[in-house]
């Protein structure tokens, strides 16, 4: 039997998730200006939540200034990458939807595999619920999503490209690495919340906590994509 409180919380979480996905999907579908508006709304909310954590883990103005400078750079850099993926000439909704899909796949795979298998914790002092089994499940889910997305994109665009074994293995590897990067962002925010002595970054989203709690992995993955893009540009 499911506890009534948990059942109620599940309903709130589900409704909030539907609303968030509707807003996200609607902005992507509506076009570049709607996506720009959504990102511009999200930025101050994320910085406000980040400040809420920083003021709890620092006592001096100098430390707070450094923390906020780094946090602003972290959030604005990721936001710029999300805008670039949607507004840069030649890009479309698929370019920005992919990293979002990878983060969702990572979180979902980690949740279900972690609950089903359990086992040793990765860093119990930071995030007691995260296990190695969950990480592997998240990596597998992310890799599968990237593989399916790549094949669908090639077929949708009518590209006459032979997807051989090397491409298959490379795609699996990139998908798994994306999951690791996303989980790193999750751990970073969990570490901040642990130091701040709070469960969530805010109570902005019913049943889910704050916006920062929902996009911590996406922020890290955006930075990973930016670094990857700079590295590829430097090589080629």
pLDDT at 151: 84
11 pLDDT higher than 80: no
Query: Distance (Å, rounded) from C-alpha 63 to C-alpha 21?
Result: 36
Q: Report the chain's mean pLDDT, rounded to a whole number.
A: 88
Q: Which three-class secondary structure state does DSSP give residue 201?
A: coil
163 pLDDT higher than 70: no
Per the structure, how many domains does the chain have?
1
Query: Distance (Å, rounded) from C-alpha 181 to C-alpha 204?
Result: 25
User: pLDDT by residue (tens digit) across 43-91?
Assistant: 999 999 999 999 999 999 999 999 999 999 999 999 999 999 999 888 8
pLDDT band at 147 (very low <50, low <70, confident <90, very high): very high
178 pLDDT higher than 90: yes
pLDDT at 131: 92
Beta carbons within 8 Å of 76's beta carbon, 6+ residues apart: 43
Helix axes 211-235, 61-87, angle to 10 degrees: 70
Enclosing domain of residue 51: 4-235
Which residues make beta-bridge pairs with 52?
Answer: none
Contact 34, 86 (CB under 8 A): no
pLDDT band at 182 (very low <50, low <70, confident <90, very high): very high
| b/e 209-229 (16+ beta carbons within 10 angstroms → b) | bbbbbbbbbbbbbbbbbeeee
| b/e 6-17 (16+ beta carbons within 10 angstroms → b) | eeeeeeeeeebe
Task: Return the closest-CA partner of residue 74 out of 232, 226, 231, 235.
Answer: 226
């Amino acid at each position: 039997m499911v506890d009534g409180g948990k059942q109620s919380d599940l309903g709130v979480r589900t409704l909030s998730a539907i609303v968030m996905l509707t807003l996200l999907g609607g902005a992507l579908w509506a076009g570049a200006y709607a996506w720009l508006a959504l990102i511009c709304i999200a930025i101050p909310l994320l910085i406000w939540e980040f400040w809420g954590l920083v003021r709890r883990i620092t006592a001096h103005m100098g430390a707070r200034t450094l923390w906020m400078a780094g946090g602003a750079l972290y959030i604005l850099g990721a936001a710029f990458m999300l805008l670039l993926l949607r507004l840069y000439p030649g890009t479309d909704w698929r370019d920005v939807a992919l990293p979002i899909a990878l983060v969702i796949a990572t979180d979902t795979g980690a949740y279900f595999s972690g609950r089903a298998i359990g086992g040793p914790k990765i860093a119990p002092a930071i995030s007691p619920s995260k296990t190695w089994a969950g990480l592997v499940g998240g990596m597998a889910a992310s890799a599968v999503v990237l593989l399916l997305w790549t094949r669908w994109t090639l077929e949708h665009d009518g590209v006459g490209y032979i997807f051989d074994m090397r491409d298959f293995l490379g795609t699996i590897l990139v998908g798994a690495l994306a999951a690791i990067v996303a989980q790193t962002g999750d751990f970073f925010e969990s570490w901040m919340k642990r130091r701040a002595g709070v469960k969530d970054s805010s109570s902005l989203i019913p049943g889910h906590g704050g916006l920062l709690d929902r996009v911590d992995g996406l922020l890290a993955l955006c930075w990973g994509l930016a670094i990857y893009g700079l590295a590829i540009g430097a090589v080629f």
